[in-house]
């Protein structure tokens, strides 16, 4: 059966069933190589320094210190 033949029937589905159908098809497609978003053995980078709590306040405190007239001289 072709997509052209299927479409009229699919269009008659209730909205929730259409969403379910999209989800089912998406899940099946995920595993196909042509849309696989990650390459095996490739290295992916996380550049953010996580859990640096307190560093922001320390930096702002230092900035304020340099903004005082005494520090500017």
Q: Which residues form the interface with another protein (CB under 8 A)?
A: 19, 23, 26-27, 30-31, 36-51, 53-57, 59-60
Q: How far is the CB of 30 from another protein (least distance, A)?
A: 4
Smaller CB separation from another protein, 1 or 44: 44
Residues 66, 72 contacting (CB under 8 angstroms):
yes
Which two tokens mark 57?
Answer: 């306040």
Q: How far is the CB of 1 from another protein (least distance, A)?
A: 26
Number of C-alpha atoms within 13 angstroms, CB side, residue 33? 1
Smaller CB separation from another protein, 39 or 73: 39
Which two tokens mark 16?
Answer: 């929730």
């Amino acid at each position: 059966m072709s997509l052209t033949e299927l479409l009229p029937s699919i269009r008659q589905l209730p909205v929730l069933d259409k969403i379910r159908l999209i989800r089912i098809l998406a899940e099946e497609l995920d595993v196909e190589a042509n849309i696989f978003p990650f390459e095996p053995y490739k290295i992916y980078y996380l550049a953010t320094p996580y859990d640096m709590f307190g560093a922001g306040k320390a930096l702002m405190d230092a900035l304020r210190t340099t903004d005082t007239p005494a520090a500017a001289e």
